[in-house]
């Protein structure tokens, strides 16, 4: 199942293989926004950004990312729901927990 355009990610360990796979899938699926919540969410956001950019040779690889270290799920969901840049508003925000968390 493809990911939605707007995703709330419960932060996995920043060095988890599942995070690498998640980012690849997000690029493939055209995800436009990833909001990261939970422990180490700022570090996880940084890793996502590094994975998206890669070696910098493909300028089409881009995902907006945010981290929400002092916010609960409802606040992050509200932020993501208000994100309207280039998204199909009929599609809901998706909450994701990766398998090896």
CA distance between the termini of the chain: 20
For the entire predicted model, the pTM comes to 0.93
Report the largest interatomic distance among the alpha carbons of the chain, rounded to a whole angstrom.
Answer: 37
Predicted local distance difference test score (pLDDT) of residue 101: 52
pLDDT, tens only, 52-78? 998 889 888 999 999 999 999 999 999
Predicted confidence at residue 52, as pLDDT, reads 96
Rounded to 5 degrees, what are φ and ψ at 10?
-75, 120
Q: Are 8 and 37 in contact (CB under 8 A)?
A: yes
**pLDDT band, very low/low/confident/very high, at 100 (cuts 50, 70, 90):** low
Give the number of other Cβ atoms within 10 Å of residue 42's Cβ.
Answer: 15
As given in the structure block, the two tokens for residue 58 are 């493909």
Mean of all residue pLDDT scores within the chain: 93
Q: What is the pLDDT of residues 24-40, one digit of tens each?
A: 999 999 999 999 999 99
């Amino acid at each position: 199942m493809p990911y939605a355009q707007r995703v709330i990610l419960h932060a996995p360990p920043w060095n988890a293989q599942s995070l690498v796979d998640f980012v690849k899938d997000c690029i493939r699926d055209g995800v436009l926004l990833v909001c990261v919540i939970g422990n180490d969410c700022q570090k996880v956001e940084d890793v996502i950004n590094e994975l998206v950019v890669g070696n910098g040779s493909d300028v089409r690889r881009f995902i907006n990312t945010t981290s929400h270290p002092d916010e609960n799920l409802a606040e992050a969901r509200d932020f993501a729901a208000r994100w309207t840049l280039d998204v199909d508003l009929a599609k809901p925000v998706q909450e994701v927990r990766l398998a090896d968390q």
